Amino acid sequence: KGEDVGANLKRTALTMKEINSRRKEMWAASRHERYNDFRIFIMGIKGNEALYGDGLVYEGCFNNAPQQYRGQTGAQDSLIPMMDIFSGIVDHYPHNKLTEYLLDLRTYRPKCIQEFFIDLRAHYVAHPLFHTLRDGGKFEELIYLLCIVNEVYLFRNGHWQFVQKYIMANTKYPKATGGTPITSWLINQIEAVLHYQGEILRVLDEHSASFSATLSADAAAWYSELSTGYPLKRKLLEDQVALLQANDIDVALVYKANQTYHLKDSEETL
């Protein structure tokens, strides 16, 4: 509370940085060219009707009626959805079928996690973090929030690069293990995060003259880096979306764009 808000937001941002650092170890700890060897075993039924038709019959269960469940997917984790709610990213989710898929995947979590998300969202609605910081002139704290949102972007963009290298480079099948469309699923969430980052940056830029001289060294450095890096993130998304419109997608070009904008997952610093 009060004076602890800035310290706790900064601690959360640093924790998210560490999480992303550990996530990147997957590049060295696994072989992307062999992912298809076991991917089939985690494919879901729901969303993959081309493979499973009306569903799978579990003999002796459900009156032998076909059932449809989604497969294993990173969207079933609890960390990033929690940060989406806590930070306010959820307010920027597009209203479309892809977001409906995202929310459907929340039902695959334990009931205690589902209830936690509901409680956390209710708290945010009553005490919206972004609006509270903005209206209170807490600009250093707003920079820490921006950093948290950026780490969610890096997590999702890193996941999107895993998809490019581990999945799209190995198969043209258009559905993910959770039954969602490969080429638009993560882009939907990345767009939401970038939209929110843009809103935070606009507020900071409008008031920068009033707080720049009072920022801590860490906050000043993060603000500078994230302001500089934001247009690159936007341009990367635009270029990749354009490349994905081709009838025969050149996955190598999609992946190369990450390096062009200095956002290759194993190398980015912003």
67 beta partners:
56
**Distance of CA 123 to CAs 85, 113, 119, 126, 127, Å?**
10, 15, 6, 5, 6
Q: Which residues pair with residue 56 across a beta bridge?
A: 67
- Could you say which DSSP state residue 246 is in? S
Structure confidence at residue 179 (pLDDT): 86
* Cβ 19 vs Cβ 147: under 8 Å: no
Distance CA 155, CA 236 (A): 15
Provide the angle, in degrees to the nearest 10, between the axes of the packed helices 251-260 and 217-243: 160
| Ranges under pLDDT 70 in the chain | 1-3, 75, 267-270
Chain position carrying tokens 């890193």: 158
pLDDT score, position 270: 39
C-alpha to C-alpha distance for 147 and 12, rounded to whole angstroms: 9
φ, ψ for residue 67, nearest 5 deg:
-115, 150
d(CA 240, CA 233) in angstroms, rounded, equals 11
Tokens of 93: 């989710």
pTM higher than the cut 0.95: no
DSSP state of 127: S
Residue 270 to residue 262: CA distance in whole angstroms: 9
Cβ atoms of 10 and 144 closer than 8 Å: yes
Residue 210 tokens, joined? 């009033």
Give dist(CA 162, CA 150) in Å, integer. 18
| Residue-level pLDDT at 180 | 87
Q: For CA atoms 154, 192, 196, 256, give the dihedral sign.
A: positive
**Residue 154, Cβ density class (10 Å: 0-12 exposed, 13-18 middle, ≥19 buried):** buried
Q: Residue 257 has which token pair?
A: 């764009």
pLDDT in tens, 39-86: 888 888 988 888 889 999 999 999 999 999 988 887 678 999 999 999
The tally of CA atoms less than 13 A away on the side-chain side of residue 175 is 20
pLDDT in tens, 216-238: 999 999 999 999 999 999 999 99
Residue 267: its pLDDT value, please? 63
Alpha-carbon gap, residue 139 to 211, rounded angstroms: 7
What pLDDT is recorded for position 52?
Answer: 86
